[in-house]
Amino acid sequence: MPQSVKEIKTKLEKYEQEHLFAFWEQLEHAEKKSLIEQIEMIDFALIEQFKNLVTKEHLAYDPEELAPAPFFPLDRTPEQQDKAKKARDKGCALLKEGKIGAIMVAGGQGSRLGFDAPKGAFPVGPVSERTLFQYHFENIVALEKKMRQPIPLYIMTSKMNHQDTRKFLQKHDYFSKDKQTIHFFQQGMLPAFDENGKIILADKGSIALSPDGHGGLLNALKHNQLFEQMEKQGLEYLYYFQVDNVLVNICDPEFVGMHILDNCDMSAKTCAKREPFEKLGNIGIMDGKYVTIEYTELTDKDKTDQKKDGRLKYEQGSIAIHTFDIEFIRSIAESKDGLPLHLAHKKIPCVDEEGKPITPKSPNGYKLEQFIFDAFPFADTVLVMETDREKEFSPIKNAQGNDSPKKARQDLSNYFAAWFEELGIHVPRDDSGNSKFSIEISPLYAQDAAELGEKLPSGFEINDNLLLE
């Protein structure tokens, strides 16, 4: 029930947040209404949680207690190859039965990339400028054709990009995926706090809000009654991926099949780190539970320590691809505490005491976020599976350099170049081993080298940029 202005003022005083009304008298009627709505959405218990987090002496883990998690390797023994084959068959069988759905998180702000639209609309195709969304949708549609079964796709957006994402996909007719099998839902937004635990005003009449992190997925599924909807459809497993990884192998039957054969609650794909300081999460075991230690928190010693064979002690990095038992994530979402909150120290646009806008040059406050990998400690059984970076991991994070669009385009060309080479077709490469020509293949044309081989005319040569679709 809407609260009266007086009640709200009293509540703000109780929680020492009365500054949110500092410009009340200067607001128009509609602005007042909007501010009230925003305040009513705040979970005031967050204020206490924030204070505890900010004062906590932060040590993410005790290096003595943490050990690297075992993983199913890429370099496989004959028994492991056998198991992987069984897993592929199992994964395909369950895809055909409609037990597996895909979930794409696309609610982030993409601040490092600085692209003025949802990240999924970023043109990444090295020849055609195919967008990230188009790749992902076409991959799913191609798999649906193979499995002769629709694959439900859940897309998490946030307040900042929900409408734009829907409009973009509608405009492109969902890249021919059946609209009935696509479910959009929005994640929650949380207020940002200054160093003194005061909620930040973005302008005179609105609170600085930001999406609650990819871990916000669990609350968002719960609040949108999507667990019930999944149950009704008979879905049992979700393949989780992030919109910005252009090489993701969505609903990879081998990975999901392995998760099922091992009876896991949650599984993760990893790849060998490029170098000890690569910015990837580290999966370990602590007190008998699986945990992810972020790269910012792993000690330099743990980052650089080597095993007897000369490989890094923490040689694997998490690439943010998971399989979940739906019942497992549902139980976390419905538990009392759910996933923990983390603080991110950021530059948050705000107003000064006179209400003038400030664009801070250094971090002035904290955003609160949940991380999906914090689901690990809730799991009894976990699978960590190594994969090949060149085939499955090229995220777009930064405008330039590592994990940039330029790198992703080159990675795509190299990925497709390897298919031609597998078919015995020569691909010109430069001194760094990169394909000299841009190569792009729509997943609707072929999803692997074998399929490509069936379609290519004999004597096919690569002597220019190439687009097959």
- Interface ranges with ligand UTP (CB under 6 A): 105-113, 119, 156, 158, 187, 211-214, 216, 242-244, 397
Q: How far apart (Å, rounded) are the C-alpha atoms in residues 49 and 15?
A: 13
Q: How far is the CB of 468 from ligand UTP (least distance, A)?
A: 27
Q: How far is the CB of 31 from ligand UTP (least distance, A)?
A: 26
DSSP 188: P
Q: How far is the CB of 282 from ligand UTP (least distance, A)?
A: 16
Strand partners, 368: 343
* Residue with tokens 């038992």, as numbered in its chain: 325
Q: How far is the CB of 253 from ligand UTP (least distance, A)?
A: 23
**Euclidean distance between the first and the last CA atom of the chain, given in angstroms as a whole number:** 54
68: three-class secondary structure by DSSP: strand
Contact 107, 221 (CB under 8 A): no
Contact 168, 121 (CB under 8 A): yes
Q: How far apart (Å, rounded) are the C-alpha atoms in residues 225 and 220?
A: 9
Q: How far is the CB of 305 from ligand UTP (least distance, A)?
A: 27
* Residue with tokens 């794909």, as numbered in its chain: 269
316: closest CA among 347, 345, 283, 343? 283
C-beta closer to ligand UTP: residue 112 or 183: 112
Q: Where are the alpha helices (DSSP H) in 208-325?
A: 216-223, 226-233, 253-261, 300-304
Contact 154, 186 (CB under 8 A): no
Closest-by-Cβ residue to ligand UTP is 108
Q: How far is the CB of 348 from ligand UTP (least distance, A)?
A: 13
C-beta closer to ligand UTP: residue 119 or 389: 119
Q: How far is the CB of 399 from ligand UTP (least distance, A)?
A: 10
Q: How far is the CB of 148 from ligand UTP (least distance, A)?
A: 29
C-beta closer to ligand UTP: residue 114 or 424: 114
Q: How far apart (Å, rounded) are the C-alpha atoms in residues 438 and 411?
A: 10
DSSP 87: H
- Residue 235 makes CB contacts below 8 A (sequence gap 6+) with 98, 99, 100, 101, 152, 326
Q: How far apart (Å, rounded) are the C-alpha atoms in residues 194 and 178?
A: 45
Q: How far apart (Å, rounded) are the C-alpha atoms in residues 70 and 170?
A: 43
